[in-house]
Amino acid sequence: MLYRKKRYQVDVAPDGAIKVKPGDWLSKYSYAMYGNFDHIGEFGRMNNRGVLAPVQDPNRIVAGETLYHLPTYDKTLKSPGIPPPAPQMPRPKLSQQEKEALIKQLSPDFKAGPETVETIEKAVEFTDDVSKIAEMFEFCEELGPVGAGLAVIGVPIQTIAMWKRFDTQQKMAAARALAYAETAWAFNEPVPPLSPQLRTNILKGGGMGKEELVESEQAWNRSARDTFARLDAKVAQLRISKESAQAVLRAKGDDDRGKLCGKILKELDEQIKEVSDTPSAFRAWQAMHDVVYPQ
């Protein structure tokens, strides 16, 4: 039976046998059959004693060998059942050469350009799991050509909760919170509080005080929480691990929080320009570009 989802496919014989082809990975089989990369433990190989057992190192399967989808094998042969796998030994780390080979093999599947390949090459430094590399390609494809990942949120800043009710100061806070929250999410850190520098600017601004500070802080918090929720929802929609998405975003910023946050802030320029009430408001936004996470 041929299983196919998105670009992945695997041909499984009635007894569960799978003939491994060049460029195959267990993660591809998992996605083709289940729509996610989480079932790599359900594939096994026969040893020289005729005993079928789960593949111990999913990162290394060989073109030409025969593997088995264990549930199909068990059901078709009406065997007494495959015993649950013993705890797997730690997987050997992929060498740099193996990582490069995997990226090269996956790139055509995703029609990945040089920018995407460069991002993945950086991102794989954060994992040794081949299934995560496939997920990184999935996430990069979702991001598209943008530089830092705003496309993953999938919507313009005007859709941030309460956006239409915000004044200019609150909109600036909400937009800045988006960049800070995406950065925090990428590095697995909690939702960040209002930027200390922005807090100072509000209190020192002409005619603004504690009331404006409270309102800006409320706008910041709504935007930051909304950003976290959108990112979590996108990962769930793509059926990939959060770790893979985080690795891609970290790679976009060269594993530097300030650099990633700065890229996202600059990507917001055009949208901020459209919603700024005055040219001075937009200039004030741009003046803060060099003050990035967590300041």
Please write the tens of the pLDDT for every residue from 37-53: 888 889 999 888 888 88
Q: Which of 155, 111, 99 is nearest to 137 (CA)?
A: 111
What is the predicted pLDDT for the residue at 50?
A: 80
pLDDT at 148: 46
Enumerate residues 6+ apart whose C-beta is below 8 A from 223. 160, 161, 173, 174, 175, 177, 178, 181
pLDDT value of position 147: 47
Predicted TM-score of the model (pTM)? 0.80
- Cis omega (within 30 of 0) on the bond before 190? no
Alpha carbon dihedral 192, 198, 203, 204, in 10-degree steps, equals 160
Considering only CA atoms, which of 280, 265, 290, 267 is closest in space to residue 173? 265
* 211 neighbors 106 (Cβ within 8 angstroms): no
Beta strand residue intervals within 41-164, DSSP E: 43-46, 52-54, 66-69
Residue-level pLDDT at 80: 53
For residue 90, what pLDDT is reported?
53
CA distance 45 to 69: 9
Neighbours of 282 (CB within 10 A): 18
Tokens 């967590």 belong to residue? 294
Residues of the chain whose pLDDT is less than 50?
Answer: 85-89, 147-148
